[in-house]
A and B are shown apart, each in its own frame.
Chain A
Amino acid sequence: MSVTHVTQGVEHPVAVVRLEGIEKSFFGVQVLRGVNLSLRAGEVHALVGENGAGKSTLLKVLAGVHRPDSGRIVVRDEEVSFAAPRDAQAAGIAIIHQEFTLLEHRTVAENVFLGREPVRRGQVDRRALETETRRLLDWLGEDGIEPGTEVARLSVARKQVVEIVKALSADARVLAMDEPTAALADNEVELLYGLVRRLRDRGIAILYVSHRMREVFDLSSRITVLKDGALVTCAPTADLDADQVVRHMVGRPLEALYPERASRPGAVRIALRGAGNERVRNLTFDVRAGEVVGLAGLQGSGRSAIARAIWGVEPFTTGTVELDGVPTRVTGPRTAVRKGIGYVTEDRKGEGLALRQSVRDNTLLVRRAACRGAVARQTADLTRLLGEVGVIARGPHQEVRYLSGGNQQKVVLGKWLAVRPRVLIVDEPTRGVDVGAKQALYRLLRDLADDGMAILMVSSELPELIGMSDRILVMHEGALAGELPAGADEEAVMGLATGHGAVA
């Protein structure tokens, strides 16, 4: 059992909803461990935690999607049990998801009262429909939206308003908002702030799920931090600062997350000389044995395009690639694999794993696919491979879809280790992986580099890129914008990535 020090604030008498001692596990993996959460009328309560900390599961318990294995849900001092989302709605709890549930080609009013339209003489009473919608919009202070407008013509921010009005029209007293700013443009965020504050002032209890510290501190009056499915702390926002919250989320000082860097890179493993194709141009760089080279850049800057080109999915059309000093033409994944290049793709479920197959079959996949004869049939080292990457599974025959993100990613790495590539490209290696597994993956990548592998790491998480890389290459609009040494700061990387010139 992990240690949880709960600094519960003084319990306010008007908690609209209380979750007490919620436990939930899936396929034998405990996702929530005795979590308490109370929501009061007229407060914005922030729920934060790393990916995989259990935020979304807790939200689904609150919404009646999942039934807790144990624990109580108390609505206005009355214990309830939700068999379906309908029951949670009836109790006045509404979830505003990142994806909207609106019918694009119907009007605002029709969407708000979908399935609950006021009826007069057997027909939908359109006038009542629009009047009632307008009343709700006015109440919220959103008079810029017309009830008769087709939803498809509204901006994302306004669709969000409609979604909220829809919940309010069903008498919601509790709104849980899951990463509400994820889909919004920067100038729309301020509008959302205003809306959240007005909802709060009108006595709605708001659970605000986000990992953006700025929003959490701008809006909330209390913060609950989850880590590994357990409650770490719940305290008034005024008593916390952002550093403390991050420390609670991560549970350890961040520096320890990244292993020591290598001191002595070896010979050049892979060298690009003026390489380019439709998406990237004129690339010249080396990656040496023992090095982890970070590849930074904004989305669409060509980071992943380099990876895919080296690997022959969309090959380079100009320039040359040398592997261990030998000019090499890679025409497809099969040649890439046989030349000793491995590629951990960004899309783990779509491109990395056959989810219904076992840990064993996935680990042996590359070897079986690309090798021949006795090598392809070799299985004796399976246990050693799985041990090396540290996969935690019920056994080699468990289907990988039942593993956590971190363990799935370890299987992907194991699959490549089975053929011992000379160059390993990893694209967003820790996406959707919890902190513990992240640390293990970093350690593993560093160990592989120390063993003489050349590692090219693509990542959009700057702390990870900076923490892991011996050098950082920064891409901007399909070309190399510059190279930074180990430990460069985030501003320097972003400066190059956004085209604001090189650092001084």
Chain B
Amino acid sequence: MRARPRLADGTGPVLVVLLVLLVALAFAGPAYAEPSGYLALLKRAAPLVVLAVGQYFVIASGGFDLSVGSLVTAEVVVAARLVDGDDANTWWVIASLLGCGLLVGLVNGLITTKLLVPSFIVTLGMLLVLDGAVFLWSGGAPRGALSPSFRVLGRGSADVGVLGQVPWSVVVLLVVVVAAAWFMRSGTGRMLLAVGDNENVVRLAGGRVDRLRLLAFVLSALLASVAAILLAGFAGVSAQVGEGLEFRAITAVVLGGVLLGGGRGSVVAAAAGALSLEALFSLLNLLGVSGALESAVQGVIIIAAVAYAAHGAGLRRMLRRPVPHPA
């Protein structure tokens, strides 16, 4: 038996995909000749990576969270109105956005676990509710403006000694990914995966399945709020800012080899999936492919990734071919 560094199952392929895309970018665009190009990519990808990490928790535990896109929109629109361009409002508004996220996550999670409505339906309903609420409240055109201090997180940079200027959003991204990876190594994280695999076993072992599920939804909504804060700063205020982000996050997670239905996959792979997706879109952009194709590309990826997961074992065996039988 040969020892090898342990990557969580399924992390390998997405890292290869990511590497290929990053190398391709270097060939495709002069901007990627220097590290700053990649740093800009990371900065751009930060909101999606954060969303994908949140989505990962829900998918790994056996659910879906379709509400994150409209939650992002709602929070950006609300933030602009409440901050109203005044720096003094920045911090309490950020705190209340996180509070809103917490609330939405709790509602999603409680309805799923207590009323036994499938999460797909609950969060789809939440998507529509939030969409409607935003439209009602803003009348279609968001009012107000964000303060400069609010926008720093999304577009500003921090001075990090030898590394020079590192965008705040990249700092947030790293903190989120490291914290999530650490969490998934903890007992609670392992239980979350076990719930997605076979919730009976966890329940019969004395575990609190409902609480674990609830936790996943709360984490997802909280991270969606973080993504909203980053995105507001980066992209500005509009009523379309979060459109389609839920599917993009799901695509990213699936691309990371996480099994739909739960029980398998690593959070680092999900984050790498998000980064790959963003890198792919940048590459297509550089190659002059119309942005209109983005959603089509995303559709193909999500189907291909799930098909690969379904037939993965067989495909891998075909590719690997006969290993001479053990002596």
Contact A351 to B187, CB < 8 A, known contacts A23-B325, A337-B206, A366-B206 = no
CA distance in complex: A369, B195 (Å): 11
A369 touches B197 (CB 8 A): no
Interface membership of A376, Cβ < 8 A? yes
**Shortest Cβ distance from A148 into chain B, in angstroms?**
41
Assembly CA distance A69 to B324 (angstroms): 9
Partner of A333, one of B186, B190, B206: B206
How many angstroms between the C-alpha atoms of A394 and B1 in the bound complex?
8
Q: Is A338 an interface residue (CB 8 A)?
A: yes
Q: Which of A262-270, A279-287, A354-362 contacts the other chain?
A: A354-362
- Does A364 reach chain B (CB closer than 8 Å)? yes
Give the residues in chain A near B186, CB-CB below 8 Å.
Answer: 377
Query: When the two chains form their complex, are residues B190 and A356 in contact, meaning their CB atoms are under 8 A apart?
Result: no
Distance of A201 from chain B, by nearest CB (Å): 42
A329 near B: Cβ within 8 Å? Answer: no
Question: Which A residues are CB-close (under 8 A) to B205?
Answer: 333, 337, 365-366, 369-370, 415
Cα(A355)–Cα(B199), bound, Å: 11
B264 proximity list for chain A (CB < 8 A): 356
**Does A313 lie at the interface of the complex (its beta carbon under 8 Å from any beta carbon of B)?**
yes
Residues of A within 8 A of B259 (CB): 356
Residues in A whose Cβ lies below 8 Å from that of B207: 334, 365, 368-370
Does the CB pair B193–A357 fall under 8 Å? yes
Whether B204 pairs with A343 at a CB distance below 8 angstroms is yes
A352 interface hit (Cβ, 8 Å): yes
From B193, B201, B208, name the one whose CB has the most chain A CB atoms within 10 angstroms. B201
B194 at the interface (CB under 8 A from A): yes
Chain A residues with Cβ below 8 Å from B202 are 354, 365, 369
Task: Determine if A377 and B187 form an interchain contact, defined as CB atoms under 8 angstroms apart.
Answer: yes
**With known contacts A337-B206, A354-B198, A356-B263, A69–B325 Cβ distance under 8 A:** yes
Quick check: is A115 within 8 A (CB to CB) of the other chain? no
Query: In the bound complex, how far is the Cα of B198 from the Cα of A23, in angstroms?
Result: 34
Q: Which residue of B lies closest to A377 (CB)?
A: B187
Minimum CB–CB distance from B157 to chain A (whole Å) comes to: 38
Residues of chain A within 8 A of B326, CB atoms compared:
25, 28
A397 interface contact, C-beta 8 A: yes
- Are B208 and A355 within 8 A (Cβ)? no
Residues B204 and A354 in contact, CB atoms below 8 Å apart: no
Is A365 a contact partner of B201 (Cβ separation < 8 A)?
yes
> Roughly how many angstroms separate A22 CA and B55 CA in the complex, as a whole number?
48
Whether B263 and A357, one on each chain, are in contact in the complex, defined by CB atoms closer than 8 angstroms, is yes
> Is B191 on the interface with A (CB-CB < 8 A)?
yes
Asked whether A355 and B194 contact (CB < 8 A) given A334-B206, A376-B187, the answer is no
Is the Cβ of A364 less than 8 Å from the Cβ of B190?
yes
Q: In the docked arrangement, what's the CA distance between A355 and B325, Å?
A: 26
B206 A350 Cβ-Cβ under 8 A? no
Q: Which residues of A402-433 have CB atoms within 8 Å of chain B's CB atoms?
A: 415
Of all chain A residues, which has the CB nearest B187?
A368
Instruction: Give min CB distance, A371 to chain B, whole Å.
Output: 9
Rounded to whole Å, the gap between the CB of B99 and the closest CB of chain A is 28
Q: Is B200 an interface residue when CB atoms closer than 8 A count as contact?
A: yes
Q: Among B188, B194, B200, point to the contact of A350 (Cβ < 8 A).
A: B200
Give chain B interface residues in 192-248, CB to chain A under 8 Å: 193-194, 197-198, 200-208
Report Cα–Cα, A70/B325, bound state, in Å: 10
CB–CB B325/A356 < 8 A: no
B321 at the interface (CB under 8 A from A): no
Q: Is A336 an interface residue (CB 8 A)?
A: yes
Q: Which chain A residues lie closer than 8 Å to B208 at the CB level?
A: 334, 369
From the candidates B197, B200, B206, name the one contacting A357 in the complex (CB within 8 A). B197
Q: A2-35, CB under 8 A of B: which get 1 and which 0?
A: 0000000000000000000001010010000000
Complex Cα distance A25/B198, Å?
28
- Interface status of A162 (Cβ within 8 A of chain B): no
On chain B, the residues within 8 Å of A350 by CB distance are: 198, 200
What separation, in Å, do the CA atoms of A356 and B1 have in the docked complex? 21
A177 within 8 A of B: no
A364 vs B205: C-alpha distance in the bound complex, in angstroms? 10
- The contact size tier of chain B is 20 to 34
Q: Which residue of A lies closest to B262 (CB)?
A: A356
The answer to whether the Cβ of B114 comes within 8 Å of any Cβ in the partner chain is no
Complex Cα gap A116–B326 (Å): 43
Q: Check A364 against B187 for contact (C-beta < 8 Å).
A: yes
Closest residue of chain B to A341 (Cβ to Cβ) is: B206
Given contacts A334-B208, A350-B198, A397-B6, whether A357 and B190 have CB atoms under 8 Å apart is yes
Give the residues in chain B near A369, CB-CB below 8 Å.
191, 202, 205-208
Q: Is A301 an interface residue (CB 8 A)?
A: no
A431 smallest CB distance to B (angstroms): 17
The answer to whether A354 and B194 touch across the interface, beta carbons within 8 angstroms, is yes
- Residue from the set B186, B198, B200 with the largest chain A CB neighbour count within 10 Å: B198
> Which B residues, 1 to 52, have Cβ-Cβ distances below 8 Å to chain A?
1, 6, 9
A351 touches B190 (CB 8 A): no
Say if the beta carbon of A345 comes within 8 Å of chain B: yes
Interchain CB contact (< 8 A) of B201 among A70, A351, A399:
A351
Q: Are A368 and B191 in contact (CB under 8 A)?
A: yes
**How many Å from the CB of B320 to the closest CB on chain A?**
13
> Which B residues touch A376, using CB under 8 A?
187
Chain B CB within 8 A of A62 CB:
no
Q: Is the CB of A353 within 8 A of B201?
A: yes
| Residue among B187, B202, B325 having the largest count of chain A Cβ atoms under 10 Å | B187
Task: Contact check, B194 vs A333: say whether CB atoms are below 8 A apart.
Answer: no
Closest A-chain residue to B194, C-beta based? A354
Residue of chain B at shortest CB distance from A361: B190
Which residues from B are CB-within-8-Å of A70? 325
Residues of A within 8 A of B6 (CB): 397
Complex Cα–Cα for A469 and B86 (A): 78
- The closest CB in chain A to the CB of B209 belongs to A369
- Residues of B within 8 Å of A415, CB to CB, are 205
Docked CA distance A444–B200 (Å): 26
Hey, what's the 0/1 contact readout for B171-195 against A, CB within 8 Å counting as 1? 0000000000000001110110110
A365 adjacent to B200 (CB under 8 Å)? no
B200 to chain A, nearest CB (A): 5
A28, B323: Cα distance in complex, Å? 10
Q: How far is the CA of A492 from the CA of B207 in the complex (A)?
A: 41
* B residues near A395, Cβ cutoff 8 Å: 1
* A377 vs B190: C-alpha distance when bound (angstroms): 11
Contact of A354 with B187 at beta-carbon distance under 8 Å, contacts A28-B326, A370-B207 already known: no
Q: Please give 17 more A-B residue pairs, beta carbons under 8 A apart, in addition to A23-B325, A337-B205, A368-B207.
A: A25-B325, A28-B326, A333-B203, A333-B206, A334-B206, A337-B206, A345-B204, A354-B193, A354-B263, A356-B259, A357-B190, A357-B193, A364-B187, A364-B190, A365-B205, A369-B191, A369-B202
Q: Can you show 23 pairs from A to B with CB atoms below 8 A apart?
A: A23-B325, A70-B325, A337-B205, A337-B206, A345-B204, A350-B200, A353-B198, A353-B201, A354-B198, A354-B201, A354-B202, A356-B263, A356-B264, A357-B263, A361-B190, A362-B194, A365-B194, A368-B188, A368-B190, A368-B191, A368-B207, A369-B208, A376-B187
Q: Which residues of B contact A (CB under 8 A)?
A: 1, 6, 9, 186-188, 190-191, 193-194, 197-198, 200-208, 259, 263-264, 325-326
Residues of A near any B CB (own CB < 8 A)? 23, 25, 28, 69-70, 313, 333-334, 336-338, 343, 345, 350-357, 361-362, 364-370, 376-377, 394-395, 397, 399, 415
Per CB-CB distance, the 3 closest pairs between chain A and chain B, nearest first, are A369-B207, A370-B206, A337-B206
